[in-house]
Structure 1
Amino acid sequence: MQTTRYDSSVVAFQQKRGGDSAAFFVPFLTADMVLLDAGCGPGTITADLAGIVGKAVGIDIEPNAIAAANRLAACSGLTNLTFIEADMTALTFDDASFDAVFVHAVLYHQSPPKLTRTLAEARRVLKPGGVLGTRDADVGGNILHPELDGVRLALDLWQRWYEHEDPAALHFGRRQSSILRAHAFTPVWAGASYVNHSADAVSRKEAVADARRSLLGLGPQLVGKGLATDDDIQAALAGWDAWGRDPDAVYFRCRCECVARRD
């Protein structure tokens, strides 16, 4: 079974990029809700949501992510925030335990059978009338300038790392509404936003540093699995360095968003 891969560079990137990832979902939440963040990673977004709802529970199958999340919880002072190591395809919660379920940057990594199990479990633990918020990637919506070969190679290497079994997964974001409807949810809102890696010189420098850290961290594993060569890694690093030297460079990552109800 395919699982999402983690290492320290992936967790660090998630910690830095939590930001406004759940902003689209906030209007559908109230202070008395119990919320589940399925695939919470290091818990940054879960902690933000805990400040809005009555109780927030984050789950992730990866021990390193939950360890980072628990460190965050210990420092946050939030008493309504809990993190649990768990599998989103086989939740241990009772039926109708949550008013809201949030799933961010997870579903497009999943094979069709695993996606079906994940959404069935989300529906099971939601109360009737509860809301599901999903936000996921759509590679076709990304905006990059200049379109340097090395940067394009780096983006391809990251896709190889996640080993998408279905090429359509790269356009998962735009299909969220139809996918949720096919799994017995009723979509009520859809939208999109961008993660901006190029707002100014500082953010461009940070984007290059993040890219280099990720490529250097994942590189040996990509090479070891036969997914890349050492020359590929060096070309990708050089591409990001060149991108970062361009004062007019832009990189906006598209994220599509959907809110659906369990009727």
Structure 2
Amino acid sequence: MSTEQATYPHGHHRSVVSSHARRTVHDSAAFLAPHIKPTDHILDVGCGPGSITMGFADLAPEGRVVGVDAVASVLEQARALAGDRKNVEFAIVDANALPYPDATFDVVYCHQVLQHVQDPVGILREMRRVAKPGAGVVAAREADYRAFAWHPTSAGLDRWGELYQAQALVSGGEPNAGRFLHTWARRAGFEAENLETTVTSWCYTGERAKQWGNMWADRAVQSGFAKVVKDKGLGSEADLQAISRAWADWATEDDLFFSVPSTEILYRVPTASANPT
């Protein structure tokens, strides 16, 4: 059985998980939502604290939604969020070897997952394998960190961008996954005629931008990002403290702007299609 070899560099500090818990179907899967039917059986790969998963459950009240993640602690938060909802369940799963039979799900989705894994093509193959031929949809959304843009400019934030790239790569991932997502899908056997590729962006201004800046001021010194930077000799504690101050200072500025572009793929699994090996 395949197991994940890359390390998730963000870790699961509260500053990370609380940011993930703000994500919704509206801001993270709007391109997929119109394709979800009320009776669909949906798999949310790398579901984290479950906020997107719960949005899927609302869209498929007569179906079933399964959220899977490799980390038990975030699944505890997801289960708490779900409460007594009957059409949602969560499980600890390594996406490299999904424990489901072929053709199980109507919709298979992952959000900001493939940038953190060693074999994104293999995981896309697994996602395709468990989707139903003729009716199934496989979708993914991945950011491109090198395409991030912000105002006002800041040498400290530039340094953050450099260290983010370095720590993601040394952890075994690809921080600019968005620009590779379409190619990964084609390598996984997704036929071009059944594959749609789009780009959308989170755009933060005003209070939301301040929240983003203060969140990264915290993450720069307390999350897994900081641990990887120091453990791998990419930067010092002084570097991280300076980056944290730069984020905090940035968050006090007027007319803030921060954009996070992500590439999206939506693949309709054809009826007569053998899963690639």
Output the TM-score relative to the length of structure 2: 0.85
Counterpart in the other structure of 2:188: 183
2:263 to 250, 256, 259: 256
1:235 paired to 2:239: no
Q: Is the 8 A contact 1:60 1:86 kept in 2?
A: yes
Encode CA deviations 1:38-88: one digit per residue, 9 max, x unaligned.
Answer: 1111111111111112211000011122111111112xx421111101111
1:34 to 27, 41, 55: 41
How far does residue 107 in structure 1 lie from its aligned partner after superposition?
0.8
Q: Is the 8 A contact 2:69 2:93 kept in 1?
A: yes
Q: CA RMSD in A?
A: 2.1
1:108-257 to 2 correspondence within 5 Å?
A: 108-111=115-118, 114-129=119-134, 130-163=136-169, 169-186=174-191, 187-198=194-205, 200=206, 202-218=207-223, 219-220=226-227, 222-257=229-264
How far does residue 216 in structure 1 lie from its aligned partner after superposition?
2.5
User: Whole-Å Cα distance in 2 between the matches of residues 126 and 174 of structure 1?
Assistant: 24
Length, aligned pairs only: 256
**Identity percentage of aligned residues:** 30
1:13 paired to 2:19: yes
Q: Which runs of 5+ in 2 are unaligned?
A: 271-277
* 1:176–1:224 CA distance, 2 compared to 1 (3 A): closer
Counterpart in the other structure of 2:59: 52
1:2 paired to 2:6: yes
* 1:176–1:152 CA distance, 2 compared to 1 (3 A): same
How far does residue 166 in structure 1 lie from its aligned partner after superposition?
7.5
Output the TM-score relative to the length of structure 1: 0.89
1:71 paired to 2:71: no
Q: Which runs of 5+ in 1 are unaligned?
A: none
Counterpart in the other structure of 1:43: 50
Q: Which amino acid aligns with 2:141?
A: R
